[in-house]
Amino acid sequence: MRRKEPIEHWSEIIKQARAMPTRSRCAMEKASDRGWFFSWQGSLKAVNNLITQLETVEDEEIDNILSSHYTAYLPAYTSALTSSFPARKIAIDAAVYAHNMEDADGFYLSIPVFLAQADGLFSELSKTESPLSIKSSKGGKAAVQGLEWIKNKIGNNQRPADLLDPLFQLHLLDLLKSTGARKTEFESTGKVFSALNRHQILHGEVSDYGTEINSLKAFSFLVFMGLHIPSVLSLADDSKFGSL
């Protein structure tokens, strides 16, 4: 005879599930501050374990955790991306091949392609031209162009908003930091900007970006755009968040 789980056990599971979007937002904030994005792909247990790790570690340990995560799941994420977007399979597979080259020079090839495909996927999904360009609203608040589409899709539903939080902060992150913002930062801190930056790479402003960690960060952005956003919006459309 099948053993019944205690009511208290299921009550705790439901409580944890309801808290996960908020916990995820906080973990995503820590990750994105260091140039990383992560996705709710795979089992709920795996996602919860990743969130728990990010909640409990010091900032300098985040690189190790997410480097290990994306290295381990690189084949699975690649398969999911190319299955969902077959027209992009050749480009994505080529970038992954370059990333996996024994010669580290491959990172110089993989990073621009990962970033360009992430940009293209966001444009394809949102049907927005230049969705990563930053614009200011009438109230003076800046945001990426494609955010308007996200807001129209989720409305006032806070749970999907929590899971998509990096999009709301994208214009402030190093990845999209403008030339002016980088200059201002240098003038105030004296530190030369060296983070992964989409504009600098795609416009050839830098030539020292080819590292494994930058390639994995760029891949994490592609996974976020191509897998995470559609899965969260699918849940929002089905009103499944309201059942938690």
What pLDDT sits at residue 10? 44
Those residues with Cβ within 8 angstroms of residue 144's Cβ, 6 or more apart along the chain or in another chain? 131, 132, 133, 134, 135, 167, 170, 171, 176
The confidence band for 11, taking pLDDT boundaries of 50, 70 and 90, is low
- Report pTM: 0.88
Q: In the predicted model, what is the mean pLDDT of the chain?
A: 86
Instruction: Output the pLDDT for position 114.
Output: 98
Is pLDDT larger for residue 178 or for residue 222? 222
Give the pLDDT confidence score for residue 237 in this predicted structure.
65
Q: Is the pLDDT of residue 213 over 60?
A: yes
Residue in this structure with the two tokens 């200011």, named with its chain if needed: 136
Most confident among 8-22, 44-58, 181-195, 210-224 (mean pLDDT) = 210-224
Determine how many CB atoms are found less than 10 A away from the CB of residue 187: 8
Mean pLDDT of 192-200: 92
Are 98 and 109 in contact by the 8 Å Cβ rule? The answer is: yes
113 closest CA partner among 130, 134, 90, 133: 90
Contact (Cβ atoms closer than 8 angstroms) between residue 178 and residue 199: yes
- Which residues neighbour 104 within 8 Å (Cβ) at sequence distance 6 or greater? 210, 211, 212
Q: Are 85 and 78 in contact (CB under 8 A)?
A: no
Share of the chain above pLDDT 90, in %: 52
Lowest pLDDT segment from 42-46, 113-117, 227-231: 42-46
Tens-place pLDDT, residues 56-66: 888 889 999 99
Bridge partners for 144 per DSSP: 134
pLDDT for 80-103, tens place per residue?
999 999 999 999 999 999 999 978
Whose tokens are 């010091």? That residue is: 58
Interval 172-181 mean pLDDT: 89
pLDDT at position 7, please? 47
Confidence at residue 140, expressed as pLDDT on a 0 to 100 scale: 62
